[in-house]
Amino acid sequence: MIDIGAKIKKKFGAKAEVKREVRTKIIPEGVRGIIRLVETDLDGTKKIIISLTKIKGVGINFASRIPGLIGVPKNTVMGTLNDEQIKKIDHVLRNPKEYGYPDFMLNRRLDVETGETRHVLASELVITLKDDIDRMKKIHVYRGVRHELGLPVRGQRTRGSFRKGKSTGVVKKKQQPSKKKSSAKGGKGGKGGKGGKGGKKK
């Protein structure tokens, strides 16, 4: 068996081994390492507010109200919560209007199909966003056309940015080697015309 630690130490020195030891996370007793909530695996060693922001559709402001709603301090570690408290968090996330969340904190206001204001999370958020973009493309509104062309939608300038994958700058044409010009002085009056022999009188 090859000792990977010794191999890293030999290649990068003693500092590499120290960095590797620091990165290993020690989970204290009584704390669950991973908590499954709204189709997402949350880090149980972090505080509630920070851990909840890993869920798609949950920001720092939305998450900061949850500890007060379930009756725990804001600096409580996620992995120390019991099953009842986790179920309550799940219910708050799925039904925020029941717990006093104002409409401006919800991410789906006046839905196009139903007209309701609600909050969508995780895979439902991804599908809803995709449906919105497809609808805009179908009816050919300005935003839909910009999505189709792969260009910025919100009025950003495109002269210097968003140029990935396209020709950048002005490309000069390759200059072809110039052809040798015939003697300019000769022209029509070289040997026989008015210029050459014609000028002499006898």
What are 128-185's pLDDT values in tens digits?
999 999 999 999 999 999 999 999 999 999 988 888 766 656 666 777 776 665 555 5
Q: What is the mean pLDDT of residues 52-65?
A: 95
Is residue 40 over pLDDT 80? yes
**What Cα–Cα distance (Å) separates residue 73 from each residue in 35, 48, 68, 99?**
19, 9, 7, 18
At residue 121 the predicted structure's pLDDT band, cuts being 50, 70 and 90, is very high
In which band, very low, low, confident or very high, does the pLDDT at 22 lie, cut at 50, 70 and 90?
A: very low
d(CA 111, CA 126): 15
Torsion 127-133-102-110 (CA) sign: negative
Q: Which amino acid is at 88?
A: K
Q: Residue 13 has what pLDDT?
A: 61
**Cα 52 from Cα 56, distance rounded (Å):** 9
Q: List domains and CATH numbers for the chain.
A: 1-27 (no CATH), 31-102 (1.10.8.50)
Which one, of 116, 120, 150, 117, lies nearest residue 133 by Cα? 150
